[in-house]
Chain A
Amino acid sequence: MSGMLRVGIDVGGTNTDAVVLDDDDRVLATAKRPTSPDVTGGLRAVLDAVLAELPEPGMEKRVKRVMLGTTHATNAILERRALGRVAVLRLGAPATTSVPPLSEWPDDLRDTVAAGTAIVRGGHFVDGREIAPLDVDAVRKFVATTPADAIAVAGVFSPAGADQENRVAEIVRAEVGDVPVSLSHEIGSLGLLERENATVLNAALYGVARDVTAALREALTARGLEVETFFAQNDGTLMAVDYAARYPVLTIGSGPANSLRGAAYLSGVADAIVADVGGTSTDLGVLVGGFPRESAAAVEIGGVTTNFRMPDILSIALGGGTIVGAEPRSVGYRIGTEALVFGGSTPTMTDAAVAAGRGTVGTRPVPEEWRERLALAVRAADEAVADAVDRVALGRSRSGRAERPLVAVGGGAFLLADEVPGAREVIRPAHAEVANAVGAAIALASGRIETIVPASGGGSSRARLIDNAKEEAAARAVAAGADPATVQIVELSEIPLSYLPEPAVRLHVKAAGPLARQAG
Chain B
Amino acid sequence: MQARITLEDVAALARGCAVLGTGGGGDVRPGAIAARRAIREHGEVPLVTLDELPDDALVLPLSGIGAPTVSNEMVHGTDEPVRIAEEIERIFGRPPAAVMSSEIGGGNGVAPVAWAARLGLPLLDADAMGRAFPEVQMVSMYVAGIPANLVVMTDVVGNVVTIRPIDGLWSEQIARAVCVAAGSSALMADYVLTARECAGAVIEGTVSRAIAVGRATEGAADPLATLTAELGAVRLISGKLADLERRTTGGFARGTATIEGTGDDRGRTLTLEIQNENLVAVEDGRVRAMVPDLITVVDSQTATAIQTEGLRYGQRVTVLAWPCDPLWRTPKGLETAGPRAFGYDMDYLPVEKIA
Contacts and interface: CB of A to CB of B under 8 A. Distances in A.
Interface of A: 92-100, 103-104, 123, 125-127, 129, 131-132, 156-157, 190-193, 296, 390-396, 496-501, 506
Interface in B52-81: 65-67, 69-70, 72-80
A503 to B, nearest CB: 11
B79 A190 contact: no
Interface stretch (B14-22, B93-101, B312-320): B312-320
Given A99-B37, A394-B313, 16 more contacts: A96-B74, A96-B77, A98-B38, A98-B80, A98-B118, A125-B184, A131-B156, A131-B157, A192-B73, A296-B312, A391-B314, A392-B314, A395-B243, A498-B67, A498-B251, A501-B180
A123 B77 CA distance: 13
A110 to B, nearest CB: 13
Given A103-B33, A395-B243, A95 B180 contact: no
Contacts of B176: 499
B73 A98 contact: no
Among B36, B69, B158, B241, chain A packs the most CB atoms within 10 A around the CB of B69
Contacts of B72: 190-193
A395 B37 contact: no
Contacts of B289: none
A127 B243 CA distance: 35
Contact of B76 (A96, A123, A126, A132): A96
B37 A100 contact: yes
Given A95-B157, A100-B37, A157 B180 contact: no
Contacts of B138: none
Contacts of A497: 67, 69-70
B7 interface: no
Contacts of B76: 95-96, 98
A506 B243 contact: no
Contact of B314 (A98, A129, A390): A390
12 contacts: A96-B156, A98-B75, A99-B37, A123-B74, A125-B74, A157-B73, A193-B75, A296-B312, A391-B316, A395-B242, A395-B314, A498-B67
- The 6 A-B residue pairs whose C-beta atoms are closest, nearest first, are A95-B156, A395-B313, A125-B183, A499-B67, A96-B75, A97-B77
A126 B243 contact: no
A393 B34 CA distance: 37
Contacts of B75: 92, 95-96, 98-99, 156, 192-193
Given A92-B74, A499-B66, A395 B184 contact: no
Contacts of B78: 97-98
Contacts of B36: 103-104
Contact of A156 (B38, B74, B179, B241): B74
Chain B facing A: main interface SS: mixed
Nearest to B248: A496
Contacts of A394: 313-314
A499 B77 contact: no
Contacts of B274: none
Interface in B152-183: 156-158, 176, 179-181, 183
Contacts, number: 120
A96 B30 CA distance: 11
Interface string B231-254: 000000000111100001001000
B65 to A, nearest CB: 8
A78 to B, nearest CB: 22
B242 A192 contact: no
A496 to B, nearest CB: 6
Contact of B70 (A100, A126, A193): A126
Among A104, A125, A499, chain B packs the most CB atoms within 10 A around the CB of A499
B74 A126 contact: yes
A497 B76 CA distance: 19
B74 A98 contact: no
B139 interface: no
Interface in B1-35: 30, 33-34
Contacts of A496: 248
Contacts of A501: 180-181, 184
Contact of B67 (A94, A296, A500): A500
Contact of B33 (A104, A125, A126, A498): A104
B114 interface: yes
A98 B37 contact: yes
A93 B76 CA distance: 10
A396 B77 contact: no
Contact of A95 (B65, B74, B242, B251): B74
Nearest to B158: A94
B77 A98 contact: yes
A390 B33 CA distance: 35
Contacts of B114: 98
Among B179, B180, B314, chain A packs the most CB atoms within 10 A around the CB of B314
Contacts of A95: 74-77, 156-157
Contacts of A131: 74, 156-157, 183
Contacts of B181: 501
Contacts of B66: 499
Contact of A157 (B74, B80, B314): B74
A395 B65 CA distance: 35
Contacts of A191: 72-73
Nearest to A393: B314
B184 A499 contact: yes
Nearest to A391: B314
Among B70, B114, B251, B312, chain A packs the most CB atoms within 10 A around the CB of B70
Contacts of B243: 395
Given A97-B78, A394-B314, A156 B73 contact: yes
B67 A396 contact: no
Contacts of A500: 67, 70, 180, 184
A201 B118 CA distance: 30
A388 to B, nearest CB: 10
Interface in B190-242: 240-242
A127 B157 contact: no
Contacts of A96: 74-77, 156
B320 to A, nearest CB: 21
A498 B77 CA distance: 22
B312 A499 contact: no
A156 B240 CA distance: 39
B240 to A, nearest CB: 8
A360 B203 CA distance: 68
A99 B67 contact: no
Nearest to A390: B314
A366 B110 CA distance: 58
Contacts of A98: 34, 37-38, 75-78, 80, 114, 118
A497 B79 CA distance: 26
A227 B33 CA distance: 47
Contacts of B312: 296
Nearest to B114: A98
Contacts of A499: 65-67, 70, 176, 179-180, 184, 251
A123 B70 CA distance: 13
Contacts of A498: 67, 69, 251
A496 B78 CA distance: 29
A392 B76 CA distance: 37
